[in-house]
């Protein structure tokens, strides 16, 4: 699909969603469930995954969720994240914008055939029997330094963007970069525009100074959709995707959520190799940040080099919940971590 037609298609889709949202708002006014009716429901929501091979990877990834496995796991909502810098890898063709378009079209096809219901606004977050999807982009490279492309993606249905992925880009610096610094002037405009549009700002992969600058200017809660705790004294190339306490605290102070993932590692002073380790990490985060700032993000289909023992995919969620219980988390804690906290952020961000 050419750029012009994608922009036109996105605009048309935005107009359609506006009309349908008004109809849903009218219907919801008399039928939305009350808090007391829904508080016992375990809401499972994953802020970062690559389901159904939407990014058309050639490598087999057993962690990649399918619609069947997600529904069987009882999920309420999952992100469908296109990779915004995929075209920058060797052997890829096209531009970041056009390549991201092609991935999002794969998501839209699932909606067109009725396989998923896309979330576009806060009204769409109402609990219902049907599984919902959240269209997302991992890597603001897809904007190619042009704010009009952010508007086009939003019109097409994108409601969450991870500003960075594996490369420094026009927005800021990546965690694996040898450099660090605040957002670029374009990056500032991107974050401000995302706030205006009602999009979730995801700082996963963002270097410390870039992430801190996002938190300073963001008017809505931010998230890190997939990371884990960098234990004191640990360092090294393989751990650059992790965050120390002071960085996690910045995200929490925004009212946001730090989502931990199934990545496994053995460091010089610590290790994270089992579900018990993952659960203990959440217990630590509860004590330091508050349970309302803790979540999980699976990065299913993201090609993690190693995963903790006991986790294969979202189908292993019951195992993780069992580890949470053994670690002493209450049912209310678990509900908050596996989806409740992320849903709260969505309600504050979406318009």
Answer yes or no: is pLDDT of 11 > 60.
Answer: no
Question: Which domain CATH number covers 345?
Answer: 3.20.20.140
Instruction: Give the per-residue pLDDT at 129.
Output: 64
| Residue in this structure with the two tokens 């889709």, named with its chain if needed | 13
**Longest CA pairwise span in the chain (Å):** 58
* Tens digits of residue pLDDT in 33-76: 333 333 457 899 999 999 998 887 666 788 999 999 999 999 99
Residue 158 lies in a domain: yes
Q: Where are the beta strands (DSSP E) in 141-297?
A: 158-162, 200-202, 222-227, 257-260, 265-266, 271-272, 294-296
Tell me how far CA of residue 236 lies from CA of 108, 239, 265, in angstroms: 39, 6, 11
Question: Is residue 268 a part of any domain in this protein?
Answer: yes
Angle between helices 147-156 and 3-31 (to 10 degrees): 50
**Average of per-residue pLDDT across 309-322:** 98
| Domain encompassing residue 108 | 3-22+43-349
In this structure, of 48-62, 98-112, 149-163, 301-315, the range with the lowest mean pLDDT score is 48-62
pTM for this model (two decimals): 0.88
Q: Is the pLDDT of residue 210 over 80?
A: yes
Q: What is the mean pLDDT of residues 224-243?
A: 93
Residue 337 counted as domain residue: yes
| Top-confidence residue, 108 or 22 | 108
Domain membership flag for residue 17? yes
Alpha-carbon dihedral sign for residues 26, 27, 31, 33:
negative
Question: Is residue 38 a part of any domain in this protein?
Answer: no
Pairing of strands 132-138, 117-118: parallel
Whether residue 267 lies inside any domain: the answer is: yes
Provide the mean pLDDT of the chain.
88
Question: How many domains does the structure of the chain reveal?
Answer: 1
Structural domain includes residue 10: yes
Does residue 199 fall inside a structural domain?
A: yes
């Amino acid at each position: 699909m050419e750029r012009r037609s994608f922009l036109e298609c996105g605009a048309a889709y935005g107009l359609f969603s506006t009309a349908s949202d008004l109809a849903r708002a009218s219907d919801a006014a008399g039928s939305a469930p009350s808090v007391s009716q829904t508080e016992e429901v375990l809401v499972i929501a994953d802020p970062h995954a690559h389901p159904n091979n939407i990014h058309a990877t050639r490598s087999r990834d057993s962690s990649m969720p399918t619609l069947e496995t997600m529904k069987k796991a009882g999920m309420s909502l999952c992100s469908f994240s296109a990779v915004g810098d995929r075209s920058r890898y060797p052997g890829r063709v096209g531009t970041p914008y056009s390549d991201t378009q092609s991935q999002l079209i794969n998501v839209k096809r699932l909606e067109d055939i009725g396989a998923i219901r896309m979330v576009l606004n806060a009204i769409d977050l109402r609990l219902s029997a049907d599984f919902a999807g959240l269209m997302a982009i991992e890597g603001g490279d897809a904007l190619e330094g042009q704010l009009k492309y952010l508007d086009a993606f939003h019109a097409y249905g994108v409601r969450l963007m991870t500003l960075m992925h594996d490369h420094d880009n026009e927005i800021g610096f990546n965690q694996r970069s040898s450099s660090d610094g605040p957002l670029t002037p374009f990056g500032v405009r991107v974050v401000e525009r995302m706030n205006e549009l009602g999009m979730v700002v995801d700082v996963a992969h963002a270097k410390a100074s870039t992430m801190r600058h996002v938190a300073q200017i963001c008017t809505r809660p931010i998230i890190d959709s997939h990371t884990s705790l960098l234990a004191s004294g640990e360092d090294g190339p393989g751990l650059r995707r992790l965050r120390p306490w002071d960085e996690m605290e910045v995200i929490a102070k925004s009212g946001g959520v730090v989502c931990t993932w199934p990545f496994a590692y053995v460091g010089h002073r610590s290790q994270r190799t089992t579900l018990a380790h993952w659960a203990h990490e959440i217990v630590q985060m509860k004590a330091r940040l508050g349970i309302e700032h803790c979540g999980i993000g699976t990065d299913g289909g993201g090609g993690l080099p190693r995963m903790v023992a006991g986790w294969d995919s979202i189908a292993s969620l019951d195992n993780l919940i069992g580890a949470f219980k053994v670690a002493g988390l209450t049912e209310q804690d678990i509900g908050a971590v596996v989806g409740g906290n992320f849903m709260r952020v969505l309600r504050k961000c979406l318009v």
